Chains A and B, each alone.
Chain A
Amino acid sequence: MSTRERPEHWVDPEPFDPHEGEKALTPEQEAYYTASQWKLMWWRFKRHRLALVSMWLLAILYGSLLVTELIAPYNAHTRNASVIHAPPQVPHLFHEGRLVGPFVYGFKYRLNMENLKREYVPDPGKVQRLRFLCRGDPYKFWGTFEADLHLVCPAEGGTFHLLGTDRLGRDMLSRILYGARVSLTVGLVGIAVSFTLGIVLGGISGYYGGWIDNLIQRVIEVIRSFPTIPLWLSLSAAMPVTWDPLWVYFGITMILGLIDWTGLARAVRSKILSLREEEFAQAARLMGARPPRIIGRHLVPSFMSHLIASATLSIPGMILGETALSFLGLGVRPPMTSWGVLLNEAQNVNVVALYPWLMLPVVPVIVVVLAFNFLGDGLRDAADPYSD
């Protein structure tokens, strides 16, 4: 074939636009394709309704810790000898068909001479209107300045025990609210300890390998061989009885954290094992970064979201652990109040039969543990936003 016979090359006379084939992106699409990883995670997380609800619930609960004094109708240690083991008082709105506003009926007290049970029955003659934003038990707000403002208090001379009272006539609701301060923070402090230990030891173990790895793995194996509750028990029994309750509290969180880190360390190790050979780690190494920097700046952040998810999933274990320890009387000690300490009072069958409201502190325990589980589930799904 000669060059002359070749047909003439056809050229489109229209002006050429290289972007013609592209459709313009809507702003939403644009935002989607340029979103950062954390943003993608947030979008993925939002799809998990239960996790979202749990997150808000936990945020509210933790937020309430800041103003416990305000929302609790009584102090945690206010005793009222005239209402011992009183049942919950239900708030009403209408009295004999008339609107009175939120009120409770006062108690009529009677000692049952057959089983010596104290019986409190609502007395329709005593209508006690609740007061709101009122002056009640004086307290020291955050332990610093004096105040006596409460969100809700009983009528003058009346009582308001929404969840009943315990054997010393202390208000259960207030005690649960104050107990939340210990029970909810135990998990956070504990996880901080276990998180630090897990990342440092897991990171070292995975990055260096060799005998250090071997040693750390053996240590983990040994720690995991102990059944947790007996080990917790033994360690917390080792805390001197002379310790201040605050010290005991920190002791407990340390114990919970010191035993919990093994799972996290294993996860970190296996991730680092696979990541340390990646190009970006190599590059960092070639540029002269020291191992702590490589681990802390380059390797760990690449799977931080997974770590946060698994940390969230191990908080409930700690909360349950504290509850169990305090229940057995080896955890947080009175006068400090936690949900476990409260449940300690519900230790025998009599309570179930006679004063079932003493078991109510278990409700917040269940709710919080469930919420953390759902939140952790959602976080785990969101941790890898690039998977389908």
Chain B
Amino acid sequence: MLRYVIHRLLVMIPTLLAISVITFIIIQLPPGDFLSAQLAEMRAQGEQIQGGKIDYLRQLYGLDRPVWEQYLYWLWGLLHGDLGWSFEYDRPVTEVIGDRFFLTFVLAFTTVLVTWAIAFPIGIYSATHKYTWSDHGLTFLGFLGLATPNFLLALVLQYYANVYLGLSIGGLVDADYIDQPMSWAKFLSVLQHLWIPVLIIGTAGTAGMIRRLRANLLDELRKPYVVTAKAKGLPPGRALVKYPLRMALNPFIADIGNLLPELISGAALVSVVLSLPTNGPVLVRALQTQDMYLAGSMLMLEAILVVVGVLISDLLLAWLDPRIRFSGGQTR
């Protein structure tokens, strides 16, 4: 097991490096940089800017160096937990996204749990009641969740939750609690706000999960050992839970790796609509204004979150499934 963990960790290093290079290339892609965009804006507003000031700013932010030097500088900072300077907010990136990143994480984590909680019983039910009306209905519902754009669902739910339940679900806490220290009341308020984004972001993932669990479980239920178990007189519940279900569960854990990028993507969109204090809105804004360190760091951190998620799911799989542990590497 230890060998496997070390192997897995070592493999992560080149992956992360490659991710950082790609991220950096992406944020360098737009023509011009934040300063030129801002200068153009200032000029449009009729402000006079001396040439010396531009050069000074450029030098201050290192925008005059060669690209690879900028990259190394950025990477070096990254390794020391310094994510660079956000031009737009005029604050260190870490300050801008610290809380938001934590909330994104909380949101993603909660959504994974909720997705499981919903997909698990429905998947089992669908598999054991194959081709019944309820199975078809649930499958259709899943498809519908898959097909509805999240952002619109967010909008509509937000409206109806407000009209019929009297909840204001923009943001993640009630306005009274913003900037207040964490307390029980604030926690409750967060819970009250969290369920809608979690539900919305979860819809797409849940549908996929249900279909996969159903397919896996159906494959298992067809196998001879299930027939044997039933023939021996095992009660149906036990004949389901004891072996077939356990076998069908592997993909659940392996799926965290696939689920996380999906969830973070969904969260980005839904957050923009519901104006949640997570990464999404800031990322969109940063991309629009070419606030490159902010955008880049966020993209990088989200990718890291995914890589770590995949790592965790791989380790869990290895822990649960000796076949993977002993083959010492490839899991997919």
Contacts and interface: CB of A to CB of B under 8 A. Distances in A.
Interface in B157-199: 158-159, 162
Nearest to B258: A224
B152 A359 contact: yes
Contacts of B290: 237
Given A222-B18, A235-B26, A237-B288, A370 B144 contact: yes
A234 B299 contact: yes
B149 A373 contact: no
A352 B158 CA distance: 10
Contact of A228 (B151, B261, B295): B261
A225 B262 CA distance: 10
A99 interface: no
Nearest to A316: B147
A343 B295 CA distance: 25
A369 B261 contact: no
B284 A330 contact: yes
Contacts of B162: 349
Given A218-B15, A234-B295, A235-B26, A227 B268 contact: yes
A325 to B, nearest CB: 10
Contacts of B156: 352, 359
B261 A224 contact: yes
Interface string A208-247: 0000000000110110111111110111011010000000
Contacts of B137: none
Interface in A352-373: 352-353, 359, 362, 365-366, 369-370, 373
Interface residues on A, range: 35 or more
A106 to B, nearest CB: 30
A320 interface: yes
B144 A226 contact: no
Nearest to B155: A352
A366 B147 contact: yes
Interface stretch (B58-66, B94-102, B302-310): B302-310
A191 B14 CA distance: 29
Nearest to A373: B143
Contact of B149 (A221, A235, A320): A320
A327 B299 CA distance: 20
A328 interface: yes
Contacts of A369: 146-147
Contacts of B261: 224-228
Interface residues on B, range: 35 or more
A222 B152 contact: no
B273 interface: yes
Given A225-B306, A365-B147, A230 B19 contact: no
A373 B147 contact: yes
Contact of B152 (A221, A225, A227, A362): A362
A335 to B, nearest CB: 20
B148 interface: yes
Interface string B208-243: 000000000000000000000000000000000000
Contacts of A282: none
Contacts of B249: none
Interface in A40-58: none
Interface stretch (B27-35, B84-92, B115-123, B315-323): B27-35
Given A225-B306, A366-B148, A328 B283 contact: no
A218 B303 contact: no
A234 B306 CA distance: 17
A364 to B, nearest CB: 11
Contacts of A227: 260-262, 264-265, 268, 302-303, 306
A145 B14 CA distance: 56
B19 A225 contact: yes
Contacts of A302: none
A229 B266 contact: yes
A211 B34 CA distance: 40
A347 B18 contact: no
A349 B268 contact: no
A351 B156 CA distance: 10
Nearest to A359: B152
Contacts of B265: 227-230
A346 interface: yes
B22 interface: yes
B284 A328 contact: yes
Contacts of A370: 143-144, 147
Interface of B: 14-15, 18-19, 22, 26-27, 29-31, 143-144, 146-152, 155-156, 158-159, 162, 260-262, 264-266, 268-269, 272-273, 279, 283-284, 287-288, 290, 295, 298-299, 302-303, 306-307, 310
29 contacts: A218-B18, A222-B15, A225-B261, A227-B260, A227-B265, A228-B262, A230-B265, A230-B283, A230-B298, A231-B26, A237-B287, A238-B26, A240-B31, A316-B146, A320-B147, A323-B149, A328-B269, A328-B284, A330-B287, A343-B151, A346-B155, A347-B273, A349-B159, A351-B155, A352-B156, A365-B149, A369-B147, A373-B147, A374-B143
Given A227-B302, A231-B26, 10 more contacts: A218-B18, A221-B15, A226-B299, A230-B279, A237-B290, A238-B30, A327-B151, A330-B287, A349-B155, A373-B146
Interface of A: 218-219, 221-222, 224-231, 233-235, 237-238, 240, 316, 320, 323-324, 327-330, 343, 346-349, 351-353, 359, 362, 365-366, 369-370, 373-374
